Chain A
Amino acid sequence: MGDILQLVLKRLGLGVITLFVVSILIFFAVELLPGDIAQAVLGQGATPETVAALREKLGLDQPAIFRYFSWLAGALAGDFGDSLVSGERVSEAISDRFINTLFLATYAAVIAVPVSIVLGIIVALLRNTLFDRVANVATLTSISSPEFFLGYILILYLAVKTNYFPAIASLSADMSFGELLHRTFLPALTLVLVVTAHMMRMTRAAIINLLASPYIEMARLKGVPPWKVIVKHALPNAWAPIINVVALNLAYLITGVVLVEVVFVYPGIGQLLVDAVAKRDFPIVQACCLIFAATFILLNLAADVGAILTNPRLRHPK
C-alpha cells in the first residue's frame, strides 16, 4: 500500500506542476488578446485620463510578469481579484455558480455512469444481436448530435408539447430538493445523452477485448454461465480503460456544459464564463479556466489511481 501512496503523491506533484504551466498559459493568453482592458471596460467615450486612472487602479501599468505572480499568489489564497464589470469579488461570483455546475454534473453522472456501464455489460453479453445494434445506433446518434440540438429537442417534446418538465432551469434558494431535481432534469438528461455513448462503447469494447483471453476460455470450460463469465471474469480486468473514459466524461460534464447551460439558462459556471468573455471580464475568465484545468487534472489523477487500485498485480505485489 505504501507504494500506491507514494505513486499518488508523485502524480499529485506532477498535477501541481501541470497546473502551474497551465496558469502561465491562461494568464498570458488573456494578455495577448488585442485591445486595452481599461479602454474596453470604460467604452469608446472614455477620456485618456480616466483610462489611465483605471489602468493604474487595476495595476495594468506594472510589468506583466509582476502582475502574473501577484495574480498567482492571490489565486493560491483563493483570491482571484475583483470582477472588472461588477466590481464583485471573483471568488464570490464564481463559488455559487461552480456549486451549481457541480450539482448538475453530479446529477448527470449519477445517472449516466451506472446506466452506461450496465448497458455496456449487456451489449457485450448480447454482442452482435439486434439489441446490441439498436443500442449502438441509439447511443451513436445521441453522441453525434450537437448538445444544443439535443437540448432543444428535449425542450420541444418534454417541456413545450407535454409540459412534463420546465424548459428553463432557473434556481431559487427556497426550492425543495425534489423540485430542484425536477427543474434541472432536462439539462441533466441532455448531458447524460451526450456522455453515455462514449462510456458504454468503451465498456463493451474493453470487455469484448478480453473475451479471447485464455482465462475466459478456461472459465467457459469450467461451465461458468455466460453472464457470469462477463461480470466475474472479464469485467474485473476491464476496469482500467473504463475508469479512464469515465473520468474524461466526468471532466467533460464540468468543463463542457457551457452550451447546455446557455440553452437551459442554468446559472452555472459555463454561463458565467460566456458572459465574462463577452464583457472582457478577464479576472473571471482566468479563474474559470484555472478551475476547469484543475478539474481535468484531478479527475485524470483519480482515474490513474482507480486503474492502479483495480489491478491485482499492483495491489498485491509479489
Chain B
Amino acid sequence: MVPKKDVLLEIKDLRIEGYSDEKWIEIVHGVDLTLHKGEVLGLIGESGAGKSTIGLASMGFARDGCRISGGTIEFDGMELTTTPQSDLRALRGSRIAYVAQSAAASFNPAHRIIDQHTEAPIQYRIQKRVEAQEDAQELYHRLRLPNPDEIGFRYPHQVSGGQLQRAMTAMAMACRPDLIIFDEPTTALDVTTQIEVLAAIRDIVDQFNTAAIYITHDLAVVAQMADTIKVLLKGEEVEEAPTEQMLDTPQEDYTKSLWAVRSFKRPQKQRPEGVDAIPIVSVQGIDAAYGKTKVLDDVSFDIYPGMTVAVVGESGSGKSTTARCITGLLPPTKGQILYNGEALPARYQDRTKEQLRQAQMIYQMADTALNPKIRISEIIGRPAQFYSGLHGTALKNRVDELLDLIELDPAKFYNRYPPELSGGQKQRVGIARALAADPSFIICDEVTSALDQLVAEGILKLLDRLQEEFNLAYMFITHDLATVRSIADEVVVMQKGKVVEQGPKDQMFTPPHHPYTDLLLSSVPEMDPNWLTTLLEERGTDAIGEAANV
C-alpha cells in the first residue's frame, strides 16, 4: 500500500475525441485518475480501451486526429488542458517522460543512442553535453546494460530489442522526471528479456521515487509493477483497487472475465501407437542458412495427424525458419521433410499442387497478411478455386460454408474488405483462407500474439474445434507458454537453431527440464505480485545479467 502522499497528477472527467469518417467521436468517456508522488498506477484493458490515449493525455498530448474535449488534467498544480503548447513542451521530457512500446521503432535510426538520450537535458540546460553523457553511462550501469560505457555510442539497430528498451527507460530518466508513462514497454519482448526490463524499470522507479503510469494488457506483468490497478474498457473505467485486492477479489464481471482467460485448456492427446502410425509431417535433420549465416542445425521432429505440436523459443531461435523449410519457401541445405512418409521436394516450385494444398499457413499479423483491397469472399474464394477448381454457385457456397466455420455471418462479411474488420475477425479470415485449401496440416505462426487475451482465447477455441472436426495437425509456433499450456499435445523447444528438448506436453511442464526450458518456463510472469521479487532472488542478479546478454 502507498501511504497518502502529495497528489502529483489528478485527472477529472477526462474526455477525448477521435476524428474518423469526417466527424469527432468520443473515445474516452469521462475517466478520473489520481496519482501520488512515487506511486505506480497500472492501466490495463484490451486494445481500444483508451489506455495509451489516457497515458498521453496525462502529458497534455493528443495524437494527430485526437483531441482532449473535456475534463481537467492537473499536474503538480498546473492545469494542462489550458497550458499553452510551448509551456507543455517544456514539461515533456523534463518533468513527465514517456517510454514507448517498441524501443526499436521509437529510437531515431539516424542518431546514436546517447545523443538521443542527452537531447532533453542539453535542451533544458540541465547538463552540458559531457555531463549528460556521463550521467547516461551512469544510468546504463544502473539498468545493468552490457558495456554501459560504450553501448550509448552505438546506433539503435546495433543493439538488441531488450537492451534498447532499457536504454529508453534510461532516456526517460535523463532529466529525473516526476512522472514516467510506460506504454506497454515489454509487450514486444521475449519472456526471458521481459524479466530484465521489468526488473530494471522497477529498480529505477524505486531508486528515484518516480511516479509512473504503467500501461499494459498483461495482468501478470502489471501485478509485478503497480501499486494500484485501474481496469479500463472502451474508454471507461471498470474499477480501480490496490493491486493485491484487485487480484484477489475483483468486483466487476469484466475484470473477472479477464482474470479467467488463461483457464482455457483442452485435454492432451497421445501419439497413435503401432507400426502403421505415420507422422503427417516429419522433419528429418534439416539445416538451413540465410546466405552464409547458418540458422538451423539438425532440426528433427514429427507431427502426427490430428495433433498439435507447439514449437517454442525466443525470437531468433529458428521457429519461423523451420516453418519456411517445411513450406518449401527456404530449401534446407541438409536433411529432408517427409509428408505421410514420402519425401517432399525441397523447393515449393517443385512440389505438386496436391502437396502444396496439404500444408497451409496462418500468419501472426492478419493486418499485413490480408490484401486490404480485396473482398473477403475473394480472399477465401481464391484458394478454394485454385485447389478445388470450384466456380460460380459452388464456389459461393463453399465460401459461405467456410465463413460459417469461422463463425462470421456470410451475409454480413461476404462483400467486405479487411480494413473494415477487427483484429480477431481478420485472423478468422486468415484461418478460413488456410481451410479453403482443405489441408491436413496447418502451420500457425504466432497467430494469437497480436491479439487481446479474450480475442486470442476465441481464436484458440476455434482452432481446437476445427482440429476436432477435420482431424487437422497443427504446428503451433509461439513464444507464449500460456498458449502452449492450453492447446499443445507435444512441445519442441528451440534455441539458436537447435532443438534443445522435445516431448509430450505434460512431460515438458514437469521437472526436470533442460536448463533452457527451465529458463523459459520460469520467465513466464505469474499473477502473484511477489513473483518477480522471488524469482530475482532465486536467480541472483548475476544470472539475470547473463541471461540478458545471451
Contact = CB atoms under 8 A, between A and B. Distances in A.
Contacts of A308: none
B155 A213 contact: no
Interface stretch (B104-112, B266-274, B329-337, B409-417): B104-112
Nearest to A310: B110
A223 interface: yes
A91 interface: no
B396 interface: no
Interface string B143-161: 0000000000011011000
A237 B119 contact: no
Given A213-B105, A224-B119, A218 B110 contact: no
Interface in A166-224: 212-215, 217-224
Contact of B155 (A212, A223, A312): A312
A313 B108 contact: no
Q: How extensive is the interface on chain B, given as a class?
A: 20 to 34
B93 A222 contact: yes
B105 A215 contact: yes
B478 interface: no
B59 interface: yes
A221 B64 CA distance: 13
Contact of B100 (A212, A217, A318): A217
A236 interface: yes
B123 A224 contact: yes
B91 interface: yes
Contacts of B89: 223-225
A223 B108 contact: no
A160 B400 CA distance: 75
B453 to A, nearest CB: 24
Contacts of A223: 89-94, 120, 123-124
A161 interface: no
Nearest to B85: A226
Nearest to A237: B110
A135 B384 CA distance: 53
Nearest to B59: A221
Given A214-B100, A217-B100, A222 B120 contact: yes
B158 A316 contact: yes
Contact of B108 (A219, A220, A221, A318): A219
Contacts of B98: 218, 221-222
A278 B5 CA distance: 91
Contacts of B106: 214-215, 217-218
A233 interface: yes
A215 B119 contact: no
B94 A215 contact: no
A136 to B, nearest CB: 20
A236 B119 CA distance: 16
Contacts of B373: none
B126 to A, nearest CB: 12
Interface string A235-273: 011000000000000000000000000000000000000
B91 to A, nearest CB: 7
A231 to B, nearest CB: 12
B224 interface: no
Given A219-B108, A237-B108, A318 B94 contact: no
B474 interface: no
B63 interface: yes
Contact of A215 (B90, B101, B109, B155): B109
Contacts of A312: 109-111, 155, 157
Q: Which of A215, A232, A233 has the most CB of B within 10 A?
A: A215
A313 B109 contact: yes
Contacts of B155: 312-313, 316
Contacts of B102: 214
B61 interface: yes
Interface string B244-261: 000000000000000000
A313 B106 CA distance: 15
A316 B123 CA distance: 27
B138 to A, nearest CB: 19
A222 B110 CA distance: 17
A312 B109 CA distance: 7
A242 to B, nearest CB: 14
A220 B85 CA distance: 11
Nearest to B91: A223
Contacts of A218: 98, 100, 106-108
B432 to A, nearest CB: 31
Nearest to A215: B108
Contacts of B107: 215, 218
Nearest to B94: A223
Contacts of B109: 215, 237, 312-313
Given A312-B157, A318-B157, A221 B93 contact: yes
Interface string B415-440: 00000000000000000000000000
A237 B123 CA distance: 22
B159 to A, nearest CB: 9
Contacts of A237: 108-110
Interface string A50-89: 0000000000000000000000000000000000000000
Contacts of B101: 214
B54 to A, nearest CB: 15
Interface in B81-100: 89-94, 97-98, 100
Contacts of B56: 221
Contacts of A225: 89
A318 B158 contact: yes
28 contacts: A212-B64, A213-B105, A214-B101, A214-B102, A214-B105, A215-B108, A217-B100, A217-B106, A219-B119, A220-B92, A221-B59, A221-B61, A221-B92, A222-B93, A222-B171, A223-B89, A223-B94, A223-B124, A224-B93, A224-B119, A224-B123, A233-B108, A233-B110, A233-B111, A236-B111, A312-B155, A313-B155, A316-B155
Interface of B: 56, 59, 61, 63-64, 89-94, 97-98, 100-102, 105-111, 119-120, 123-124, 154-155, 157-158, 171
Closest 7 CB pairs of A and B: A236-B110, A222-B93, A223-B92, A223-B93, A214-B105, A221-B98, A218-B106
Given A223-B92, A233-B111, A318-B158, 4 more contacts: A221-B61, A232-B111, A312-B110, A313-B155
